[in-house]
Amino acid sequence: MPEEPELLQIVKLVGALKSQDHFVGVSGRHFDTYLVKDILYARTAQASRVGEIFASRNQDLDIEAVAGPALGGIVLSQWTAFHLSRLKGREIYSVYTDKTRENGQALGRGYGDIVAGRKTLVLEDSVRTGGTVQKVMGAVRAKGGEIAAVSVMMNVTPDLVTEATFGVPFRALVDFPVPSYTAAECPMCKCGVPINTDFAHGKEFMESRSR
């Protein structure tokens, strides 16, 4: 049996990979396994190592800045830029986008000036549809930045999200398929499994149903 990817070893070690539960994603789809990135980010040694893995996987590319969406992408961007700077022997910038009122992503805080004219690596923790990543890409391009590549910790829909989804090099640290369902077809709902309101977007889902 092949050795388990280091990324999976890390998230399991810190208890960040939750399974056999009932989660709701930002898209409203339901699934039984979820990567709780905040548990990982509280463990600085492990978070640093994930950034180092990201840097190693993408060091062959010409990268001048790293961008991720707030809040989860901030830690990933920082650590990855730190380790890329060490590998390349030059400063790699770290920036992040904020969610807009229209549910988009935008670069504020002067970060647009940093990515302008620079080749930027876009990071995300996990990807199911690629929608958030595409919004970050759009925010970087809107400020004159060039997308060098997209890289994520976990691709939970490897049959759906591929390099063709983004039109640039795409690298996942691990492919980890997790089936998802609409609320109407969700087997957990049909079996009466309570929705987890501590992680993911279960709390918002439950609140929307009570209105």
**pLDDT tens across 49-79, in order?**
999 999 999 999 999 999 999 988 999 999 9
What is the distance between the alpha carbons of residues 77 and 88, in angstroms, rounded to a whole number? 16
Q: Tell me, yes or no, whether 211 lies in a domain.
A: no
Asked if residue 197 is part of any domain, the answer here is: no
pLDDT (tens digit per residue) in 136-170: 999 999 999 999 999 999 999 999 999 999 999 99
Cα end-to-end distance, the chain, whole Å: 50
- Report yes or no on 131 lying in a domain: yes
In a domain, 164, yes or no: yes
Answer yes or no: is pLDDT of 210 > 80. no
Confidence of residue 182 (pLDDT cuts 50, 70, 90): very high
- Distance between CA 194 and CA 94 in Å, rounded? 39
Range of the domain at 72: 6-192
Task: Please indicate, yes or no, if residue 104 is contained in any of the structural domains.
Answer: yes
Q: Count of domains in the chain?
A: 1
Does any domain span residue 125? Answer: yes
Residue 114 maps to a domain: yes
Q: Distance of CA 13 to CAs 3, 7, 17, Å? A: 15, 10, 9
Query: Region 91-106: what's the mean pLDDT?
Result: 96
What is the C-alpha separation between 68 and 95, in angstroms, rounded? 7
Residue 67 lies in a domain: yes
Residue 91, pLDDT above cutoff 90: yes
The CATH number assigned to the domain holding 66 equals 3.40.50.2020
